[in-house]
Amino acid sequence: MTRYQDTLTTFNQLRDQQGGKWDNINPEYATRMRLQNRFRTGLDIARYTAGVMRRDMAEYDADPSRYTQSLGCWHGFIGQQKMLAVKRHHGTTAKRYLYLSGWMVAAMRSQFGPLPDQSMHEKTAVPALIEELYTFLRQADARELGHLFRELDAARAKGDEVAAKAAQERIDSFETHVVPIIADIDAGFGNEEATYLLARRMIEAGACCIQIENQVSDAKQCGHQDGKVTVPHEDFIAKLNAVRYAFLELGVEDGVIVARTDSLGAGLTQKIPVSQEPGDLAWQYNSFLDTVPVSSAEDIDEGDTVIKIDGGLRKPLRLANGLYRFRPDTGEDRVVLDCITALQNGADLLWIETEKPHVGQIAGMVERIREVMPDAKLVYNNSPSFNWTLNFRQQVFDAWEAEGKDLSAYDRSQLMSAEYDDTPLAELADEWTRDFQRKGSREAGIFHHLITLPTYHTAALSTDNLARGYFGEEGMLAYVTGVQRQEIRQGLACVKHQDMAGSNLGDDHKEYFSGEGALKAGGQANTMNQFG
């Protein structure tokens, strides 16, 4: 028996047990509403998507070509349209996720208005956006299934049993638009208890995967800005524990934690941890500090800090703001230690924030990590903060230079110039850019590729294009040719914006509840009929 028929049978039996009191209830309508609302709560979503993500991780371990991807979304509608597009163009949502960027929450969703990526926004905005995204994805399910139900009804009305059976098979095999969200908790918004409280809210909203970074929470900076300050490993482990306890408390045993290290670009620490014995984590952390030897009391100024490292007294160099500096050549070593330590203490995936998209650089660090943790794999930020065109043109330039090729036609510092757009160097750079994700997953252990802020930039670009024409000579033609006609030609569902917003769903429900007396919006006078 099909899922549709099984649910219908259950509701028929339930109605028959009510002694006539439920005769106004149509079991088929109830069946449709049940199937359109597969996920009752955020925890249902978190448990389901955690299972999806764990299966994807296992498949990647077996075959690195089976990596996953996501795009950052700052609104539920954006996330919904992304997943509708993925399903329409690729036939399935498999291995395509959503990313929730703390940067975009700060810039787009704070009641204070646009804010820098410094954890200054309300932390409640993070679970609120998770809930919003899943509300829109669930509505996409309901809308798409509603159209299938209409196909089923139309086939039945024509007496076409073959078409009716085909429609019912599509209903029973329907793939949900609900996919995993990798959700950014920044540096935890406070101490470990604050991290736990926020993680719990995020999981309750539907998050199966939480990404947390090793910066100081009250001095957090965007990963691609200067002034980043890391915390000792013990502090970060406490927050990993807090997130894991939140998952376990809420019954999401296979929830996923992404441990992000900013050590490659972070040259500062706020405090010196207490070492209990040589070689422990605190000792290793302190060994990276920028220090000078102390030979006598005269080498120590009032208020200086002195620590013993490798049997000798040394004075850590401290800035005017009280922060301590790491030696400038220790970034990659600190990244490797951070990653190994995080995996040994409950993290499932790693995030290494880099200053450029270079597979060789990433692979070099991952190889060192895998010497200790063989199944280490990454979530990698394909960041809009990188100038991808310039980076890959320079990478090609450097490769050609190493091969001894004639580069007299190129100026490495000016490779972003449009004059190079049609050159062989630019063509190869674009090929390398296209293959970056495949190569990174194959050679550098990248399980998940994401772009943090793409829809921020696409919204700005499309709005600029429309504003240029609409407020200029093109007038209304700018909207018609640049937007609506493209929606029609490309088959975008949102051209029927009333339907996308739930008008047809509402009509269905009115008919369910009121029968022939329902006042519906989808009649002959509805101008959406102009779109077929």
DSSP letter (8 states) at residue 384: T
Cα-Cα-Cα-Cα dihedral sign, residues 22, 24, 27, 32: negative
CA dihedral 412→265→358→349, nearest 10 degrees, is -170
222 tagged catalytic = yes
Exposure string of 298-330, with b = 16+ CB inside 10 Å and e = fewer, is eeeeeeeeebebeeeebbbbbeeeebbbbeeeb
* DSSP-assigned letters across all residues of 288-299: TB-EEE--SGGG
Cα–Cα nearest to 256, from 62, 125, 76, 60: 60
Distance, in Å, from the CA atom of 101 to the CA atom of 71, rounded to the nearest integer, reads: 9
Helices 161-172/3-16 angle, 10° precision: 90
Contact between 183 and 100 under an 8 Å Cβ cutoff? The reply is yes
Angle value at C-alpha 511, between 509 and 512, nearest 5 degrees? 60
User: Which residue reads 């449709």 in tokens?
Assistant: 32
Candidate list 73, 208, 209, 222, residue with the active-site label: 222
* Helix (H) or strand (E) segment spanning residue 106: helix 102-108
**Burial of residue 433 (number of CB atoms within 10 Å: 0-12, 13-18, 19+):** middle
Contact between 339 and 376 under an 8 Å Cβ cutoff? The reply is yes
Structure tokens that stand for 404 in this block:
């001894």
Query: Catalytic residues, which ones?
Result: 222
